[in-house]
Amino acid sequence: MSVSAEQGAPERPSKPARGDKVPALVLMAVAVLALFLAPLYLTNEYHVRILTLVCIFGAASVGWNLLGGYANQVSLGHAVFFGIGAYAVVIFQEKYELSPWLAMPAGVLVSVLVGLVIGWPTFQLSGHYFALGTLALLQVFHIVANSWEGLTEGSAGISLPILESGIWNLQFDGPAPLLYISAGLLVASLAAARWVRYSRLGLELDAIRLNPQAATLAGVDLFRAKMKAMLISAVIVSLAGSVYASLLQFLDPETAFAWNTSINLALFAIVGGIRHWWGPALGALLLIPLAEWASLTLTGNLAALAQLMYGALLVLLILVQPRGIGGLLDKVWRRFTVSKPTESKPTASTP
Amino acid sequence: MDLAQSVVNGLLIGSIYALIAVGLTLVFGVMDIVNFAHGEFLMLGMFGGYFASSEFGIDPLLAAPIVGLVVFAFGALIERTIIEPIIKAPPVAQVLATVGLGLVLANGAAALLGNDFRSVKTGYQGEAFRVFGLSISATYLYAGMYALVVALLLSLFLNKTDFGKAMRATAQNRGAAELMGINPKRMYMVAFGIGVGLAALAGSAVIPYALVYPYVGQQYVLIMFTVVVLGGLGSVRGAILAGLAVGLIQTLTTLVLPTELQNLVVFSVFFAVLVLIPGGVMRRVRFG
């Protein structure tokens, strides 16, 4: 993943935020290439699976960040979109023997509708209230999925039938093809996040994060900007959920509408840096292998230590480094770039 | 008969909700912080009551004040180390920091104690009082009475004592309170301690009829947010009334709907209140 710092900090108006430093994209390309080559060198199927998880949750976290990071509207309910995307796949495939490729647009459509319906009331809430409202929504979906047994089979869950392997059914003999698909999803969501970051919408979301009142005065339509971010993020998270269901080949309400999913999406973004389009992906790349390693080494009661570590990390980061690794790299980058011109042209610059 | 029984049960359960929610609303009212880890402090209290009973043979209802005091001290410590630095941070940071704290507490308990469901045995567990043909379970009755008494004491503390008045002053205007010689940091520490201590006390009071396990907090967390929002974030009197109301909603919906849907109604009410009347049903008067 990229280790370059990005410009575009709002406190430097002389250089409009039109793009990041080249290394961010170059390193991203290298990372993607590495992802695609990985199955050729990784002999352990389990490692390929971990990489797949990184891509899926990395993409979902990148999606969460559009609203939670860029605009600072912390949603604790994004697992709703994840679950909808996932349920679309298992319901299509198990009940109607339809391909996941048909289920994905259906899931996206439902997610967008849900996003529209919940965005309308919740965007009038600010701060704590928005987090509370989205949390309530997740609980509602959880209960509905548990009790609407005709559709979801309730808490027993749905196992996918074994079908002819191939791209159409998203069932494969080896783990590599699904890694490619999730890597594709990650790249697409990163591209979308980068595009938003440097578009007019990105500036508007920035303005909302810094000062909603001032943003309104400057002519930003708060509701529209938030809604756009919400819908793009709903699409991404829903697709990630669809791929996740294909990876698991099983789904129950506990997995689909998990409180942990909502927390993890926020956590990855915060660790990687919410101000950067690539931050959440970096967070996922660091934390998911760590959690998998922890769940292998810690058994029995100690298995809870993996989640405990996540929680402690969340608290610690917010106290010590709320901007995550991205923010840290920003500081380092600024030290390099600011010190050079003052050496060459000592008269021109005033600090 | 069924209806009257449901009303009685709802009020008894609701008074426990009220006690839990009073702590949450106190923390919000004084500090402007929504504590997403509140349910985990309830869990600590339930384990406190459980161990008081299983290890020392002390009745959980008698142990409740001690458990509350211990968690009060623990909460004050947490406030100093984790909450104080983020008291002026944006809501995002506060939300995620308290969510993280909840993860640490729940999973810490799971790592230490395992994931089993536990319950205590008391002498009065199966007993019920018969009044006008209604059957009132002893455990629910004791816990409910307990909750109402404690909530009343808190109300007296906030309204009649100097310390309580100072706390309300801090809630209304931190700057002005500071000028009057009140140390807001001390108020925050005590308010947070009281808030989570009350949750723990409630936990110990419900353990005679409830099961405890490390993640039990998640089961209560949204219900208490519902109560707090319904009563108006920051209003103690509102939280008490809303607690009773939510208890009633839960038991009354089971008359017409399957049990697993009772919380669906509660959360829908929650969502509706949040959106339609963000200030809560009681107008936002801090500690009315």
Judged by CB atoms closer than 8 Å, whether chains meet at A128 and B218 is answered as: no
Q: Looking at residue A41, which CATH number applies to its domain?
A: 1.10.3470
Q: What is the mean pLDDT of chain B?
A: 84
Query: Where in the sequence is the domain holding A82, given as residue range(s)?
Result: 22-335
- B114 → closest Cβ in A133, A259, A301: A301
Residue B83 lies in a domain: yes
Residue A157 lies in a domain: yes
Residue A351: what pLDDT?
A: 40
Q: Would you call A221 helix, strand, or coil by DSSP?
A: coil
- A304 → closest Cβ in B110, B261, B263: B110
Span B173-205, pLDDT tens digits? 778 888 888 888 888 899 899 999 999 999 998
Give Cβ neighbours of residue A341 (< 8 Å, ≥ 6 apart).
A348, A349
Span B231-265, pLDDT tens digits? 877 778 888 888 999 999 888 888 888 777 778 88
Residue A292 lies in a domain: yes
On whether the CB atoms of residues B266 and B224 are closer than 8 A, the answer is no
- Give the largest Cα separation in chain B, rounded: 59
Span B266-277, pLDDT tens digits? 888 887 877 777
Residue B287 lies in a domain: no
Q: What distances in angstroms separate CA B148 from CA B141, B143, B152, B288, one per listed residue?
A: 11, 9, 6, 17
Query: Where in the sequence is the domain holding B9, given as residue range(s)?
Result: 2-116+123-215
Task: Tell me if chain B has a CB within 8 Å of the CB of A308.
Answer: yes
Q: Quick one: which of A225, A185, A211 has its CA closest to A67?
A: A225
- When pLDDT is averaged across residues B131-156 and rounded to a whole number, the result is 83
Span A22-67, pLDDT tens digits? 567 777 778 777 777 777 777 778 888 888 999 999 999 999 999 9
Residue A121: what pLDDT?
A: 77
Residue B184 lies in a domain: yes
Residue B237 lies in a domain: no
Residue A17 lies in a domain: no
Judged by CB atoms closer than 8 Å, whether chains meet at B95 and A301 is answered as: no
Residue A5 lies in a domain: no
- When pLDDT is averaged across residues B31-37 and rounded to a whole number, the result is 86
Instruction: Work out the minimum CA distance from B4 to partner chain A, whole angstroms.
Output: 27
Residue A13 lies in a domain: no
- B90 → closest Cβ in A72, A267, A308: A72
Please tell me the distance from the alpha carbon of residue A325 to that of residue A338, in angstroms, as a whole number: 20
Look at A4-13, B105-114, B163-172, B181-190 and tell me which has the smallest mean pLDDT: A4-13
What residue in A sits closest to B35 (Cα-Cα)?
Answer: A128
Judged by CB atoms closer than 8 Å, whether chains meet at A270 and B96 is answered as: yes
User: Which of A65, A319, A320, A321 to mutate against chain B (most B CBs within 10 Å)?
Assistant: A319
Please tell me the distance from the alpha carbon of residue A207 to that of residue A64, in angstroms, as a whole number: 18
Q: How many structural domains is chain A composed of?
A: 1
**Given a cut of 60, is residue B39 above it in pLDDT?**
yes
Residue B97 lies in a domain: yes
Residue A14: what pLDDT?
A: 40
**Given a cut of 50, is residue B283 above it in pLDDT?**
no
Please tell me the distance from the alpha carbon of residue B95 to that of residue B32, in angstroms, as a whole number: 11
ipTM of the complex as predicted: 0.81
User: Would you place residue B279 in the very low, low, confident or very high pLDDT band (cuts 50, 70, 90)?
Assistant: low
Residue A345: what pLDDT?
A: 44
First to last CA, chain B: 35
Residue A195 lies in a domain: yes
**Given a cut of 70, is residue B286 above it in pLDDT?**
no
Residue A202 lies in a domain: yes
Give the pTM: 0.83
Q: In chain A, which stretches have pLDDT less than 70?
A: 1-23, 126-127, 338-351
Residue A20: what pLDDT?
A: 62
Q: Could you give the count of Cα atoms lying within 13 Å of A338 in the half-sphere of its Cβ?
A: 10
Number of Cβ within 10 Å of residue A207's Cβ equals 21
- The token duo for B27 is 């923390």
Give Cβ neighbours of residue A147 (< 8 Å, ≥ 6 apart).
A154, B258, B260, B261, B264
Q: How many structural domains is chain B composed of?
A: 1
Q: Which residues pair with B131 in a beta bridge?
A: B134
Residue A21: what pLDDT?
A: 59
Residue A159: what pLDDT?
A: 82
- E strands, B31-162, are 128-131, 134-137
Residue A139 lies in a domain: yes
